[in-house]
């Protein structure tokens, strides 16, 4: 697939890229990698000569409107950047916005709804990934549930997968492939719903247990606060405007073909205002933490009281039965005594704090 090859070439040409590790993650040989690197020209260069001074305003407006039609979510600043980068045409963003209004590409209600998101980002790639499902939509045959994962620092889209449901098996398989290719993030933020959250079982699910075993920290958005995953929510708006609203899909495979093509455009070509009009790939670097071939062994402190969680999510501590989570059945939990308070324990699963137990309270 050309998008996959181009993605590899772009990541491999970064200054600190580990070619051997990238070859392993993308499943190609070093010989193939260097052939791709030799043949593909991925440098940002103008694809056409600079604008002729005799170009008519009507022709320029036609180019602006055509670009907007190809990318309905682009506004005046981004269109100005793309036109200058790829066509050598210099236009003020305000001029482009006026053209879009005259061409009826911007409706009044859309302008009123274009409220900016508050910007905050982590300092480096893979410090945090945001993960969520875009709302499902109907196909000619079945439904599609788009799974999206976005790197917080770079806005790089790690995962854009058309799934037939929101169950753990499909999500875990997709994440496994993403971890093999891009490495492990330090933390993933999700909402409180299935398959990664369960408010009735200590917040943990089988998927969450697997992620914690991999050494990934989990954080959960506050209920009714989608802005906690604001960058992924904003990504969903762009995905809806540029893909979902302009195509009709037959089945999941049809959706995925469109997703794969658009994902490359989003990551490698589309400018982003929060990135000073760079594309996300300019700031993204795969993680140095590789996906392990097997889950690492769980290690606790020598002073911990280690207990195995039984069926139903129960463990026994000093004669007391304590409920933790059904998802942890069969796992080893650390009951860490607090030196300053006798009878007070903090429960940990790997690095993940489950809560506190006070045996002084009947």
Kindly compute the dihedral angle of the four CA atoms of residues 238, 239, 240, 243, in this order, to the nearest 10 degrees.
Answer: 120
Would you call 190 helix, strand, or coil by DSSP? strand
Among 39-43, 44-48, 324-328, 338-342, which range has the highest average pLDDT?
Answer: 324-328
- What tens digit of pLDDT does each residue of 85-105 get? 888 888 887 788 878 877 777
Contact 335, 317 (CB under 8 A): yes
- What tens digit of pLDDT does each residue of 36-55 get? 888 755 444 444 555 545 44
Interstrand relation of 143-151 and 129-133 (parallel, antiparallel or unpaired): antiparallel
Paired tokens of 109: 């209600």
H helix or E strand, kind and range, residue 177: helix 168-182
Question: What's residue 18's pLDDT?
Answer: 92
Instruction: Select from 302, 315, 309, 162 the least CA-distant residue to 244.
Output: 162
Paired tokens of 299: 């290690």
What is the C-alpha to C-alpha distance for residues 28 and 125, in angstroms, rounded to an integer?
Answer: 24
What class does CATH assign to 129-282? alpha beta
Among 9-18, 67-76, 82-91, which range has the highest average pLDDT?
Answer: 9-18
H helix or E strand, kind and range, residue 69: helix 57-70
Domains of the chain, residue spans: 2-39, 57-113, 129-282, 305-358
Lookup result for tokens 């007070």: 344
pTM over 0.85: no
- Kindly tell me if the per-residue pLDDT of 115 is higher than 90: no
Burial 157-168 (b: 16+ CB within 10 A, else e): bbbbbbbeeeeb
Contact 214, 292 (CB under 8 A): yes
Sign of the Cα torsion 84, 90, 94, 95 reads negative
Question: What's residue 46's pLDDT?
Answer: 47
Instruction: Select from 149, 148, 151 the least CA-distant residue to 134.
Output: 148
């Amino acid at each position: 697939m050309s998008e996959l090859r181009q993605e590899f070439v772009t990541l491999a040409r970064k200054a600190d890229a580990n070619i051997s590790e990238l070859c392993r993650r993308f499943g190609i040989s070093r010989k193939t990698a260097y052939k791709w690197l030799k043949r593909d020209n991925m440098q940002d260069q103008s694809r056409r000569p600079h604008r002729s001074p005799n170009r008519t305003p009507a022709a320029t407006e036609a180019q602006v409107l055509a670009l907007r039609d190809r990318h309905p979510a682009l506004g005046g600043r981004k269109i100005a950047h793309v036109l200058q980068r790829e066509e050598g045409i210099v236009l003020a963003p305000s001029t482009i916005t006026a053209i879009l209004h005259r061409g009826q590409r911007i409706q009044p209600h859309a302008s009123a709804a274009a409220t900016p998101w508050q910007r905050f980002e982590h300092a480096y790639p893979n410090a945090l990934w945001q993960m969520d499902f875009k709302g499902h939509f109907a196909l000619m045959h079945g439904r599609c549930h788009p799974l999206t994962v976005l790197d917080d620092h770079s806005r790089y889209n790690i995962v854009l997968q058309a799934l037939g449901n929101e169950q753990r098996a499909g999500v875990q398989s997709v994440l496994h492939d993403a971890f093999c290719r891009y490495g492990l993030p330090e933390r993933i933020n999700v909402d409180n719903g299935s398959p990664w959250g369960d408010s009735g079982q200590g917040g943990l699910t089988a998927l969450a247990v697997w992620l914690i075993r991999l050494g990934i920290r989990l954080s959960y958005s506050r209920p009714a606060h989608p802005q906690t995953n604001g960058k992924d929510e904003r990504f969903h708006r762009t995905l809806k405007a540029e893909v979902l609203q302009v195509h009709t899909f037959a089945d999941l495979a049809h959706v995925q073909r469109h997703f794969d093509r658009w994902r490359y455009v989003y990551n490698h070509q589309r400018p982003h205002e929060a990135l000073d009009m760079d594309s996300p790939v300019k700031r993204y670097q795969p993680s140095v933490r590789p996906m392990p071939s097997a889950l690492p062994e769980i290690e606790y402190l020598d002073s911990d009281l280690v207990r195995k969680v039984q069926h139903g999510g129960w463990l026994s501590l000093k004669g007391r039965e304590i409920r933790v989570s059904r998802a942890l059945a069969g796992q080893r939990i650390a009951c860490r005594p607090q030196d300053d308070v006798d009878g007070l324990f903090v429960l940990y699963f790997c690095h993940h704090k489950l809560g506190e137990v006070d045996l002084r309270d009947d």
